[in-house]
Amino acid sequence: MQGSSSENPPSPGLDPTIADRLKRDDAGLVAAIVQQHDTREVLMLGWMDDEALHRTLTSGRVTFWSRSRGEYWRKGDTSGHVQHVKAVSIDCDGDTLLVEVDQVGAACHTGARTCFDAGGDLGAVPAGPEPTTAGAGARTTAAGPAGDREDDR
């Protein structure tokens, strides 16, 4: 990604052993789910490239890439509602990060505690069939054998 601010100067970059595990989209980004570390409450979703992840891991504050503004931004620099990083994990596919934080103030730009507070519930989802067992050690679900990923179908 291009762009940097004087508060976030360019850095040497993300550790290659971490970078090799990431599965980026066409824009070079991975989704970053931000979760309150002690309550497990999902606060927001942001986007990171390698540099944003590097800054997050080395500074202890969450840095994102703004797709609309085309620049890095660090949560709380303007609002004071900072996110102190407690842990960062990568999912099994390498395309999503889980950033556990201690959130100070609101996580959402609207002033809501989470970005999901103001959106509202979309309604109940009908219950699907229960997973079944298909032979010794094999698991299946309504979607097919366990382990099938969306991108494998």
Which residues make up each annotated binding site? 91-93, 95, 108, 115
**Tokens standing for residue 144:** 């097919």
Pairing of the two strands 63-66 and 139-141: unpaired
Alpha helix (H) residue ranges in 1-153: 16-19, 50-59
CATH assignment at residue 87: 3.10.20.810
In a domain, 147, yes or no: no
Whole-number pLDDT of residue 139:
52
Count: domains in the chain: 1
The Cα–Cα gap between 74 and 64 comes to 6
Whole-number pLDDT of residue 55:
95
Over residues 73-101, the pLDDT tens digits come to 999 999 999 999 999 999 999 999 999 99
In a domain, 143, yes or no: no
Q: Which amino acid is at 3?
A: G
In a domain, 118, yes or no: no
In a domain, 63, yes or no: yes
Whole-number pLDDT of residue 8:
37
Whole-number pLDDT of residue 113:
93
Over residues 107-127, the pLDDT tens digits come to 998 999 999 987 778 887 888
Which residues make up each annotated binding site for Mg(2+)? 91, 93, 95
Lowest mean pLDDT of 5-9, 66-70, 88-92, name the range: 5-9
Per-residue pLDDT, averaged over 1-10, amounts to 42
- Domain that includes residue 86, residue range: 16-103
Which residues make up each annotated binding site for Zn(2+)? 92, 108, 115
In a domain, 119, yes or no: no
Over residues 18-48, the pLDDT tens digits come to 999 999 989 999 999 999 999 999 999 999 9
In a domain, 84, yes or no: yes
Give the list of residues 6+ apart from residue 16 with CB closer than 8 angstroms, or none: none
Whole-number pLDDT of residue 32:
98
pTM: 0.73
**Tokens standing for residue 27:** 């824009």
In a domain, 37, yes or no: yes
In a domain, 34, yes or no: yes
**Tokens standing for residue 117:** 């507070």
